[in-house]
Structure 1
Amino acid sequence: MIQKFVTYIFFFLVFTQKIAAKVYLISSEKELKAIESILVPGDEVEIKNGNYNNWAIAISAKGSLAKPIIIRAEKSGLVTFSGSITKPVFKISGDYIFIKGINFKNAVLSKTGVLIELNTSNNCRISGCNFSANQVQSQFTPLVIVSGNGSNNVIDGCSFVANVDNQDVQVKITKESYPKFTLIENNIFSDKVKVSWPNGNGGECIQVGQDPVLLGNQRPESTVHKNRFIHCNGENEVISNKSSGNKYLNNYFEDNDGELVMRGGHNCVIADNTFKGGTGGIRINGTGHMVINNKIDGIQTAIRLMYGMAKGKEEIGFYIAASNCTIKNNTLSNATTGILIGDSKDADWTGKFDIKRYPSPVMQSVAPFDNIIGENRFKNVKAEVVKR
């Protein structure tokens, strides 16, 4: 019996040695590609301190909850990727892979260039990375994409500062696929100048969904939580929601030229956010949104409920009228108008969108309806609630 036990322990130790986690110190794309296929749970890849360019790495390894695979700077903040980007620098399609402490600075992205893409990944994380002074050459190009049919991916503790003409973070939604339960948390977005594109679009800090007209009913159920947005002037939508079932919680907005916008989609929660100064607060299209416990100070019109071309979740409209939304327990101060019910009344969109692709009326003639508005607090607001 003792002999069998000793034999068992021997083989157990041999086996665990074979699968023991390792730390790899690398300094080139070639070295990382050489080990990608042998990475196991608990392995760490340290990128040697320095400046890098012309990397395009695809990683499909699988870590575990207890032992994620970590790809990180040798020392946080001392690894920087820059230069011309034509492919994803890091394309992650595995499970429990963490990217930590890497800088992306002064990169120039082509239409196909991305800094990090989490594609059909599960439980992967981008943490403590810095994205600064990067620029894109094609409209609607993001720095970071979460795409495919993965779930439970996280972007946290990152900074997005002074990037130009780009979207910072995009949750990509198509007819065939979209990620579930993405968490974007504790990041800072700042000092974003107005985009140079002729129509002024494509400069969102966060975009959840891309086609609110045909795909607004898709439910990625993303959460955007405890982020800070300061001097984000890229376009009119600091955050652009174009899908359903998402949550925007406890975020802080200061002196932005733009709003938190429900451009499309339904049944989202916008709660406990703080807005100080800037040009806009919260803008609502769609049905069933909850707008509660927000604090908005020093903005001309704090909350806007918009006219649409259609109503409900089944009709096709380039904009859907705000309906069945709850606007309660918000604190609105130092504003000209607290809550505006019915902005963009009878706006004419003739020639401004493709009516073959989007078979929608061109007039914003459907008024907001069946919204519950009450128990909001107003301080130094000239007109508390205005209906058009």
Structure 2
Amino acid sequence: MKLRHPHLLLAALLVFSSPAMAQVIDSLGALSKASASLSPGVVLEVADGIYTTKGGIKIVGKKGTEEKPIVLRAQHRGKALIDGAAGFIFKDCEHLMLEGFTFVHDADQQCVMLENCHHVRITRNTFRPTERAKPRHWEHWVTVDGANSGDNRVDHNLFERKINRGSPVFVRGDDTALVCSQRDRIDHNHFRNVIYANGENGHETIRTGGNDLGASGRSSFTIIEDNLLEHCSGEDELVSLKSSDNIIRRNTLINCRGAICMRLGNRSETSGNFIIASEDGPGFGGVKLYGFEHRVFNNYFQGLTGRRHEAPFALVPGMHDTPTTENIGKKYDDNTATAPTKCWIAFNTWVDCSPLQFGFEKEEKGREHVPTDCVFINNLIVRTQPMAKPLVNLGMVHDLRAHDNLASAMDPAPAAPWAGWFRFAEPQLLLEKKGQGTWRLTGKSPAVDAAVEGSANLPQDIFGHPRKGRCDIGAEEFGSETPVHGILTADQVGPDAP
């Protein structure tokens, strides 16, 4: 490794329990040497400067403890720059934290790779690696691999301007062994400017699992929460889950093309998210489902313009009608997906959005199995201005149970088959003019105390307000309590957030 400015390099090796004990180092060689002897409770601080690597900075087999983690951090947040060929490679590490670096190196290699690591935390870093005009392969920035990975956390980072194929964050595991990384958490990050790839595959902002992991039904229990995504528009799968039993909650998506997609796997939850488009243009989507027994509730959607796969909500036909498939390995193809089955969609609000998509009118090649046995209840669809398109595009579905939803008054009421899903009335909402300008319930709204079955399963609404008694229709429970959660802003996420 080559140090571009050696006179700027100063690192301090601190014992975690006693900051006064320090060892000063002044070269990348010394950094490598110090890293080789890391032990529980040690804090290694890297001074301001530009560190030009010829290969990954490898840290192997270093194990802190829950009480005494190993900490490797920039002495001043953001001012230790990793340049050159690659970032950090952690292998077989545990209870370790990487904090405060800025990554500007060649994106041909990862900024951070975790291989068979657990309880490793990647926090308060800035990721803006240099992408090649003609990349050699897919360029992932932070990856979690290995059958023994789990309980890692990626939080309070900034990921910005992604152009080439690959994801800023990719939590996988081991596709060959069919073992997902388990119980990882992605939270309080700021993702911005994932550039639209004009239909090219492989530009998801966040990915979990993998083709074989998802198709075989393996669970990862990943939690993706409290992140802000702005202009993340790489492709129609904005967040792509290819594993089972995940939670996506309390995220804010602003002007992002594509949709949150349960691509492969079952039993995932999408709740408490704000997905808003305030700009003109096509393709702004919401949530798209494949697979069994997903739950979609307490979400707020506004101004979304997408259609079909990028619709504000979409139940999409699949290649299979079982929760798992043998279409893995060489049998896998791009249509490998299970039709959405036994999914529960309730207590959501859509405002001024294009039609919700329930199945397709015509069978797509390789997708002959239609959405089956899903529930759509206690949802609120609002039009604050005239729109020529219907509330719903209804295609081929089986045994859909849709009732007791509320929609804006229409005169005359539509004669479409889906009209019976709704009660049509003036929703009596109030525009909250600060921030993104969301529409809130008032005490006069017919949504108040109007929900039917399913209320007991939801202790809170999208703002963290308690749902009491007979619940309100839509994402919000009317009341005077101060919101616990809301639309995230840049000062609440990323490296400098509280």
TM-score of the pair, normalised by structure 1: 0.84
1:109 aligned to 2:127? no
Q: Greater strand share, 1 or 2?
A: 1
* Counterpart secondary structure, 1:340: strand
Cα distance 1:104–1:213, how it changes in 2: closer, same or farther (>3 A)?
Answer: closer
Measured in 2, the distance between the counterparts of 1:315 and 1:192 equals 32
Q: Does the CA contact (< 8 Å) of 1:127 and 1:157 recur in 2?
A: yes
1:371 aligned to 2:371? no
Q: Does the CA contact (< 8 Å) of 1:243 and 1:266 recur in 2?
A: yes
Structure 1: gaps (5+ residues) = 1-16, 349-362
Measured in 2, the distance between the counterparts of 1:31 and 1:215 equals 46
Question: Quick one: which amino acid aligns to residue 364 of structure 2?
Answer: A
Cα distance 1:213–1:153, how it changes in 2: closer, same or farther (>3 A)?
Answer: closer
Measured in 1, the distance between the counterparts of 2:74 and 2:25 equals 10
1:294 aligned to 2:311? no
Superposition deviation, residue 194 in structure 1: 2.5
* Counterpart secondary structure, 1:239: strand
Superposition deviation, residue 37 in structure 1: 3.4
Deviations 1:164-199 (A, max 9, x none): 213100011313133110000000100121248xx6
Q: Which residue of 1 aligns with 2:241?
A: 241
Q: Which residue of 2 aligns with 1:209?
A: 209
Measured in 2, the distance between the counterparts of 1:205 and 1:344 equals 30
Q: Which residue of 2 aligns with 1:147?
A: 145
Measured in 2, the distance between the counterparts of 1:299 and 1:226 equals 21
Question: Quick one: which amino acid aligns to residue 180 of structure 2?
Answer: Y
Cα distance 1:73–1:310, how it changes in 2: closer, same or farther (>3 A)?
Answer: same
1:324 aligned to 2:342? yes
Write the mapping of 1:1-388 to structure 2, written as runs, cut at 5 A: 23-54=22-53, 55-59=55-59, 60-85=61-86, 89-105=88-104, 107-110=105-108, 113-135=109-131, 137-148=135-146, 149-165=148-164, 166-173=166-173, 174-176=175-177, 177-195=179-197, 200-211=200-211, 215-277=215-277, 279-300=284-305, 301-316=311-326, 318-337=336-355, 339-343=356-360, 345-348=362-365, 363-380=366-383, 382-388=389-395
Q: Does the CA contact (< 8 Å) of 1:125 and 1:154 recur in 2?
A: yes
Measured in 1, the distance between the counterparts of 2:339 and 2:254 equals 28
Measured in 1, the distance between the counterparts of 2:215 and 2:22 equals 43
Cα distance 1:195–1:135, how it changes in 2: closer, same or farther (>3 A)?
Answer: farther
Q: Does the CA contact (< 8 Å) of 2:106 and 2:129 recur in 1?
A: no
Point out the more displaced range, 91-100 or 218-227: 91-100
Measured in 2, the distance between the counterparts of 1:29 and 1:345 equals 61
Q: Does the CA contact (< 8 Å) of 1:213 and 1:319 recur in 2?
A: no
Cα distance 1:215–1:27, how it changes in 2: closer, same or farther (>3 A)?
Answer: farther
Superposition deviation, residue 256 in structure 1: 0.9
Point out the more displaced range, 51-60 or 301-310: 51-60
Superposition deviation, residue 314 in structure 1: 3.4
Q: Does the CA contact (< 8 Å) of 1:143 and 1:169 recur in 2?
A: yes
Superposition deviation, residue 26 in structure 1: 3.8
Superposition deviation, residue 92 in structure 1: 4.3
Deviations 1:240-287 (A, max 9, x none): 111101110101101112111111111100011110016111111111
Measured in 1, the distance between the counterparts of 2:213 and 2:318 equals 12
Deviations 1:313-359 (A, max 9, x none): 1345612111110000000110121x3210484222xxxxxxxxxxx
Deviations 1:29-68 (A, max 9, x none): 3212212332121111111210112152222211111221
* Counterpart secondary structure, 1:36: helix
Cα distance 1:20–1:93, how it changes in 2: closer, same or farther (>3 A)?
Answer: farther
Q: Does the CA contact (< 8 Å) of 2:111 and 2:129 recur in 1?
A: no
Cα distance 1:331–1:140, how it changes in 2: closer, same or farther (>3 A)?
Answer: same
Measured in 2, the distance between the counterparts of 1:371 and 1:206 equals 26
Superposition deviation, residue 298 in structure 1: 0.6
Measured in 2, the distance between the counterparts of 1:327 and 1:214 equals 22
What is the aligned residue count? Answer: 349
Question: Quick one: which amino acid aligns to residue 142 of structure 1?
Answer: H
Question: Quick one: which amino acid aligns to residue 175 of structure 1?
Answer: T
Cα distance 1:101–1:345, how it changes in 2: closer, same or farther (>3 A)?
Answer: farther
Cα distance 1:169–1:344, how it changes in 2: closer, same or farther (>3 A)?
Answer: farther
Question: Quick one: which amino acid aligns to residue 286 of structure 1?
Answer: G
Measured in 2, the distance between the counterparts of 1:192 and 1:331 equals 26
Deviations 1:281-326 (A, max 9, x none): 1111111110111101011331000001111213456121111100
Cα distance 1:321–1:274, how it changes in 2: closer, same or farther (>3 A)?
Answer: same
TM-score of the pair, normalised by structure 2: 0.66
Q: Which residue of 1 aligns with 2:477?
A: none
Q: Does the CA contact (< 8 Å) of 1:308 and 1:366 recur in 2?
A: yes
Deviations 1:105-159 (A, max 9, x none): 2x2233xx21111211121100000002532624432100111112211000000
Q: Does the CA contact (< 8 Å) of 1:133 and 1:164 recur in 2?
A: no
Query: How well do the aligned residues superpose, as a CA RMSD in angstroms?
Result: 2.2
Cα distance 1:383–1:333, how it changes in 2: closer, same or farther (>3 A)?
Answer: same
* Counterpart secondary structure, 2:119: coil
Q: Does the CA contact (< 8 Å) of 2:214 and 2:242 recur in 1?
A: no
Percent identity between the aligned chains?
Answer: 24
